Amino acid sequence: MVFRYFRGKEKQNNKSTIEKNKGRGFTRRLFFQGAATSVLAVSCSDANSLVPLTDSAAGGQLREYWIQADSFYHNLVPTGIDDMSGTRYAPNESSYWAVGYRAYTPGWKQPLPSDGNIGANSGIPGPVLRASVGDTIRVHFRNNDTHYRFCHSMHPHGLLYTPANDGSWSAHDATKPGTALKVGETFTYEWKAVASSVGSWPYHDHAMPATIAGSTSTSGKEMGGVSNGIMELGAELGLFGMIAVTDSKTPHVDREFILCFHDFVEADVPQISQDFDCFNGYAFLGNTPTFEAKVGERVRWRIMALGSEFHVFHLHGHRWQLNGAFTDAVSIGPSMAQTFDYVEDNPGTWLYHCHVTDHFMGGMAGYYISR
């Protein structure tokens, strides 16, 4: 029998399943490898004090990106097993048609290879968009969603932009350029990194509501009594990524980890067999990214969330400073992001996960290895 994670009434079943599966691929000992030593925390650049909305930084760079929304078939649980509970998934139970942002060479000719700047460039999340204060980010965007043929856009958080570069659609101004590109259409956005842009921010699809055939979602009905689609369905399918802005005060780090919290609702995406809670396009321990650092290295996490849920990032064995206080758990809601640094000093294989129990069991767990 295949056991699954369900919300609500059937949760009780799931609990006993986890008991039965104890010792299959996951041991408690894993949590406690390595000795507990004190952690030297360092604070991030001070992005919290009041700064002018616009700045006079002159001579900023132009950071030009060619980005395409591509559709591709994607398995959220590629190993076929949740290392935490031992639950198994056949590929057709955890796969769906995804849409993700990918960075290309000029003219959208060739996808760029993965590197330390843009990340894996595999589509979920999209490429990391980087800027220093004073820089302008110019994105040449093209919709290549040949599977769903939905309209898509790009909308940034944290940067300075005009309404013409906002990328968000509304029925009130339905033909506004850049807010809902049809397949094959292109648009160029320009966004500026100002002093108040320092930190981590999401960008995401903000085109009109859409519905996948077979969807049983009622999310549109909650607002107006009429369901005419799911707002930001494109972002749920994978159209999101991280913006990272630094200034001259941002400390150098040896490692930087990008972590996106996002959730899939079966009612919205009927191709999947249940709801999934994901990190960077993957669900469950052994499938989500494994992050690695060495003792003595300065480590930075940039975390963000999209979707319909609030999350709590927790990393075992470590503490850091955020907003003037020490912590080992950080809450973030949809569209929020956080940046925090520490110096690695506690070797071992550790867990990072969302501490909301539903989400932890629904897939939001991963390994962090310190050597």
Residue numbers at the binding site for Cu ion (CB under 5 A)? 311, 354, 356, 359
Q: Alpha-carbon distance 30 to 180, whole Å? A: 47
CB of 356 to Cu ion, least distance (A): 4
Minimum CB distance to Cu ion smaller for 76 or for 356: 356
CB of 139 to Cu ion, least distance (A): 29
One-letter amino acid of 265: V
What is the bridge-based pairing of β-strands 365-370 and 291-293?
A: parallel
Minimum CB distance to Cu ion smaller for 157 or for 359: 359
Minimum CB distance to Cu ion smaller for 311 or for 318: 311
CB of 362 to Cu ion, least distance (A): 8
CB of 357 to Cu ion, least distance (A): 9
192: β partners:
136, 160
What is the bridge-based pairing of β-strands 311-315 and 199-204?
A: unpaired
- Tokens for 37, please give them: 């030593």
CB of 270 to Cu ion, least distance (A): 23
- Tokens for 272, please give them: 């999947």
- Tokens for 124, please give them: 């979920």
- Tokens for 120, please give them: 């894996």
Note the helical H segments in 77-177: 91-94
Minimum CB distance to Cu ion smaller for 293 or for 354: 354
CB of 305 to Cu ion, least distance (A): 8
Select from 43, 49, 47, 42 the least CA-distant residue to 247. 47
Minimum CB distance to Cu ion smaller for 45 or for 331: 331
Select from 307, 311, 319, 290 the least CA-distant residue to 357. 311
Minimum CB distance to Cu ion smaller for 84 or for 356: 356
Minimum CB distance to Cu ion smaller for 302 or for 311: 311
CB of 263 to Cu ion, least distance (A): 8
**Secondary structure tally for the chain: helices H, strands E:** 5, 20
Select from 118, 131, 82 the least CA-distant residue to 367. 82
Note the helical H segments in the chain: 11-20, 91-94, 221-224, 233-237, 357-361
Minimum CB distance to Cu ion smaller for 104 or for 360: 360
Minimum CB distance to Cu ion smaller for 169 or for 279: 279
Phi, psi of 299 (to 5 degrees): -120, 135
Minimum CB distance to Cu ion smaller for 97 or for 310: 310
In the β-sheet with 365-370, what is the strand arrangement from edge to edge? 291-293, 365-370, 348-354, 311-315, 329-332
Q: Alpha-carbon distance 371 to 363, whole Å? A: 25
CB of 212 to Cu ion, least distance (A): 23
CB of 135 to Cu ion, least distance (A): 32
CB of 284 to Cu ion, least distance (A): 14
Q: Alpha-carbon distance 258 to 187, whole Å? A: 27
In the block, tokens 């029925």 appear at 171
